[in-house]
Amino acid sequence: MQLELPDNTLVVASHNQGKVREISALLAPLGFKVVSAGELDLPEPEETETTFEGNARLKAEAAMSASGLAALSDDSGLCVDALDGAPGIYSARWAGPAKNFAIAMRKVEDELIAAGATAPADRSAHFVCALCLSVPGRPSQVFTGRVHGEMLWPPKGEHGFGYDPVFKPDGHDITFGEMDPDAKHAMSHRALAFAQLVEALSPSGA
């Protein structure tokens, strides 16, 4: 579908500035004016769903209803195989009320050690990103991307946000935190979900 938005504006349904920056950078080639839910003082809905896709839909539709504008939400997180997929949809909550991801990264490492997952082969993980686009008068659409890799310790790199400094994607020798942002944008879970979104928004897309 071709997407025509009122005032060419798209609300990024997030109060996480790191996430807003990444999404804005990925949206830049599409030419939309991007405004965050935080800038509009929109309330943050309680994430009550049990999947990334469900929470993405909940957040996008809440932002669309509150703003009257098209909204794009992102629900993403880290799934560690040795921890039965944790922290998963609770990735942000592991960082506590202050969103301190140094604490969250330490907690993941402590849990891996407790599980006996010290060898690289036991430390596999993947990032998931579910994007939901909600446009007034249209059905919401969800796009999901995943990137697989390995958990490292100690944290390395100052780029990105969240768990990036302890995640090394497959096929690379450095963490997301060490990567140049453009390099990460080219292959991250969020980039893979965005590629599906862009395809759907193209004239020949769904």
| Active site positions, annotated | 75
Q: How far is CA 128 from the centre of its chain?
A: 7
Alpha-carbon distance 60 to 146, whole Å?
20
What does the angle CA 5 – CA 29 – CA 146 come to, to the nearest 5 degrees?
95
Query: What tokens were used for 3?
Result: 């997407």
Spatial strand order of the sheet with 124-134 comes to 33-36, 9-12, 70-80, 124-134, 141-151, 167-169
**In residues, how long is the chain?**
206
Backbone angles phi, psi at 71, to 5 degrees: -135, 145
- In single-letter form, the type of residue at position 83 comes to L
What residue spans of the chain are helical by DSSP H? 17-27, 52-67, 101-114, 181-185, 189-201
**Pairing mode, strands 9-12 and 70-80:** parallel
Alpha-carbon distance 110 to 132, whole Å?
33
